[in-house]
Amino acid sequence: MRFLVAVKANADSEAGVLPDEKMLTEMTKFNEELVKAGVMLAGEGLQPSSKGVRVKFGPGNKKTVIDGPFAETKELIAGFWLWQCKSLDEAIEWLKRAPFGGGEEVEIRQVFEADDFGANLTPETRAREERIARQAAENAARL
Amino acid sequence: MSDVNRAIDAVWRIESPRLIAGLARITGDVGLAEDLAQDALVAALERWPQTGVPDNPGAWLMATAKHRAIDMHRRSKRIERKHEQIGHDLEAQQEMSVSDLDAALDDDIGDDLLRLMFTACHPVLSTEARVALTLRLLGGLTTDEIARAFVVPESTVAQRIVRAKRTLSEAHVPFEVPRGADRDARLSSVLGVLYLVFNEGYSATAGEDWTRPALCEDALRLGRVLAELAPNEPEVHGLVALMEIQASRLRARTGPSGEPILLLDQDRGKWDQLLIRRGLTALARAEQLGGARGPYALQAAIVACHARARTAAETDWERIVALYDALAELTPSPIVDLNRAVAVSMAYGPALGLELVDALRSEPALKSYHLLPSVRGDLLMKLGRLGEAQSEFEHAASLTRNSRERGLLLERARKSAAGAAPSRSH
C-alpha cells in the first residue's frame, strides 16, 4: 500500500527560509535510506504559499483565483513523499526516523487505489483520466 | 494486536534484514544469525510493552543481538579451550577479540545485505527453498505469510526454511558475494528468485485469486533494494524495469468481481503512470549500462512497448516481434516462442501466428502448459474456426490450477460454442 507523507508548513518554510546545511545533509541521508529500503517512490519540497494561488469554485460557474500567501500555516504543506509500505505501522516507524525535531508536524495518509472508487468512476471518466495521466507522464519526462 | 506489538512488528520488518545480514557476517552462519536476531525480537517483545518502543529501535535490537553474539562467542571460546584437540587452525580463525566483533557489527551494512541475498539464493538450495529463505530473511515475511502467499501449509514452509538453513551450514556456503563468472551465475539466481516471486503474485499458479498484489510488492521492493546494492548491474535494472511496468497494470488486470482481464482488453486509464515512469527510467539505466540485450532488459523493453501505447491498437507489434526474436536467440525456450507467436499474429495476422503455434504442439515442455491451447483457441477464434477454438479453450481450462483463469477460459469456450452454433435467422 502507498502513503502520502505530508510535511506541514511553518513560519520558516512560509518565509522561504531554506533548510540549513545540517538539515539538508540529514534529510539527504534519510531519503537515501528510504530509497535503499525500496520505500520511497517520490518526494518533493514545495515553494512557500506566497508563490502559489488558490482557485475557488462556484457556486455556478464562477471561479475566483486568490493569490498567496495564505494565513493558516498549519493547513499548508511544505513538502511530501510518496511511500510504499507494508502497513500504516511501517510508515509510522519510517517517519519516526525522519530528521525532524523543531516542532514540525507531518501527516500520513493512505492513498486510494482506483478500485476503491468502484462504480463511481465511469469508463468515460477513466478514459479521460488516462489521457490526463499520460499527458502528465509525458510532461514529467520532458523535465 | 496492541499498538506496541504492531509497532514491534513494523520495526521487525524494517530492521530484520539488516540485523540478520550483519550478524551473518560475524557468525558466518545465516541460520545462527537469524536465531540471534529472533532472540533480540523476543527480548523486545518482553521489554517494549513496558518501556515503550525506544527512540532508535534498530540500534536497540542490534545491541541486544550483539550481546547475545558476544556471549556465544565467549562461551564457544571457553568450550574451545576445553577441547583444544579441535586444532590450532580453527582457534586462529576465532581469535577475533570482542572489540573487533563490536566494530565489525557497526560497519556499513549494504554489502552484508547483498551477501545475504546471494546466500539465500545459493544454487545448493532448491528453488522453493531459495524463495522461502529470501522472503523470510530479506522480505521480513513470516512463515505464515509465505505459506498463504504460495497456498501451501505453514509447516511445509517452516520445514523448508529449517532445511535450507541446515543445508547452507552443512555445505559451508561462505557468506560472500562471489567474483568473476561465478558472480554472474549467482546474480542470475537472485534475479530468478525475485522474478519467480513477482510472477506468483502477478498470475497466481494456484488458488482462488487471479493475482496476489502483495507478493508483487514484496518482489518489487526487494528488486529496488537490490538495484541500490548493485547499481552497476544492468540486468538488475532490467528486472526492476520489467517488474515496475508489469505491476503498473495490476489494478487493470482484475475486474470488479475478481475475474481476469487480459492485456488488450484492459482499461489503460487504470495503469499506474508512476510505476510506468519508474520502469522506463530503470530500463533506460539498464541500457546506459550496456545491458539492452540482457534477458530481463529485453523483456522489459517488450512490456515497455505496451506501456507506451495509448490504445491497444497503437501497440508496436513489429518491434515486439523483433524483441522476441532477440530474446529467443539469447534464451531459447518454447515459452518465448509461444509469446513470439502471439506477437507475430498481432503484427502479421492470426494465420501466421497459428502456424508457429502449431509447430510448438509437439513440444514436451508445453504439454501441460495451459497457455498453449489458450493461445491456439484465440487464434482459431480469430480465423473463424470456432468449433476447434471451443475445444482448445476447454482443454486449456482443464490444465490451469487457478480457478479464476479456469472461469475465463470456460467463458471463452462458451462464446466460441455460441458463435459456432448455426444461427437461427438462417
Q: Where are the domains of chain A?
A: 2-111, 118-143
Answer positive or negative: Cα dihedral of B220, B224, B226, B230: positive
Residue B225 lies in a domain: no
Res B247 pLDDT > 70: yes
How close, in Å, is residue A43 to chain B by CA atoms? 12
Q: Is the ipTM of this complex over 0.90?
A: no
Of B11, B256, B274, which has the smallest distance from its Cβ to A93's Cβ?
Answer: B11
CB atoms within 10 A of CB B385: 17
Rounded to an integer, what distance in angstroms lies between the CA atom of residue B284 and that of residue B278?
10
Q: Which of B229, B251, B310 sits opposite A114 (nearest CB)?
A: B251
CA dihedral B337, B341, B347, B352 (to 10 degrees): 130
Read off the DSSP letter of residue B407.
H
| Model pLDDT for residues B54-104, shown as the tens digit of each residue | 988 988 998 999 888 888 878 776 666 655 544 444 444 444 445 555 555
Of B338 and B426, the structure prediction assigns the larger pLDDT to B338
The more confidently predicted of residues B345 and A142 is B345
Extract the C-alpha cell encoding B119: 546466500
State how far the alpha carbon of B306 is from the alpha carbons of A88, A134, B236, B242, B300, in Å: 33, 13, 21, 12, 10
Q: What residues form DSSP beta bridges with B42?
A: none
Chain A: give the shortest CA distance to residue B270, in Å: 7
Task: Give the closest residue to B190 by CA, choosing from B91, B113, B266, B98.
Answer: B113
The sign of the dihedral angle between the CA atoms of B183, B186, B192, B198 is negative
Q: What pLDDT is attached to residue A116? A: 59
Residue A42 sits at the chain B interface (C-beta within 8 Å): yes
Mutation target to probe the B interface, by most B beta carbons within 10 A, among A4, A90, A95 is: A90
- Residue B5: alpha-carbon gap to chain centroid: 28
pLDDT class of B186 with cuts at 50, 70, 90:
very high
Structure confidence by residue, pLDDT tens digits, A87-140:
999 999 999 999 998 889 999 999 986 555 554 555 556 566 666 666 565 555
Q: What is the DSSP letter of B254?
A: B
Using a CB–CB cutoff of 8 Å, tell me whether A133 touches chain B: yes
Q: State whether B7 and A136 contact (CB < 8 Å).
A: no
Of B64, B82, B107, the one marking the end of a domain is B107
In a domain, B118, yes or no: no
Q: What do you get for the CA distance between the two ends of chain A, in Å?
A: 28
pLDDT value at B424 more than 70: no
Residue B423, pLDDT > 70, answer no
Q: Which residues of B touch A127 (CB under 8 A)?
A: 267, 269
Asked whether the predicted pLDDT for residue B290 surpasses 70, the reply is yes
CB contact under 8 Å between A38 and B268, yes or no, is no
Question: Is there a domain that residue B219 lies in?
Answer: no
* Closest residue on chain A to B6 (Cα): A89
Cβ–Cβ gap B225/A118 under 8 Å: no
Chosen domain end from B107, B137, B163: B107
What angle do helix axes B3-27 and B110-120 make, rounded to 10 degrees? 80
How many domains is chain B built from?
2
* Radius of gyration (C-alpha) of chain B in whole angstroms: 25
Q: Report d(CA B33, CA B26) in Å as an integer.
A: 9
Query: Is B243 exposed, middle or buried (CB count within 10 Å of its CB: 0-12, 13-18, 19+)?
Result: buried
- Look up the domain containing B409 and give its range: 368-426
| Cβ–Cβ gap B270/A133 under 8 Å | no
When pLDDT is averaged across residues A26-54 and rounded to a whole number, the result is 94
Asked if the Cβ–Cβ distance from A36 to B310 is below 8 Å, we say no
What are the strands of the beta sheet with A40-45, ordered from one edge?
Answer: A40-45, A77-84, A2-8, A106-110
Mean pLDDT of chain B: 88
Q: What are phi and psi of B290, to 5 degrees?
A: 85, 20
Show contacts of B84-90: CB within 8 Å, 24+ apart.
Answer: none
Whether the CB-CB separation of B233 and B187 falls below 8 Å is answered with: yes
Residue of A nearest to B229 (CA): A36
A115: chain B residues, CB-CB within 8 Å: 251
Last residue of a domain, which of B107, B131, B154?
A: B107
Element (H, E) at A117: none
Locate B406 and state its grid cell. 479456469
Residue of A41, A134, A141 lying closest to B274 (CB–CB): A41
The shortest C-alpha distance from A133 to chain B (Å) reads 6
Residue A71: the pLDDT is 87
- Quote the pTM value: 0.83
CATH, range A2-111: 3.30.70.1060
CA distance B277 to chain A (A): 7
Q: Look at residue B418 in the predicted model and tell me its pLDDT.
A: 87
**pLDDT for position B149:** 83
**C-alpha distance from residue B147 to each of B150, B154, B161, B215, B236 (Å):** 5, 5, 11, 12, 27
* Pairwise CB contact (< 8 Å): A130 & B267: yes
User: Is it the case that residue A22 has pLDDT exceeding 80?
Assistant: yes
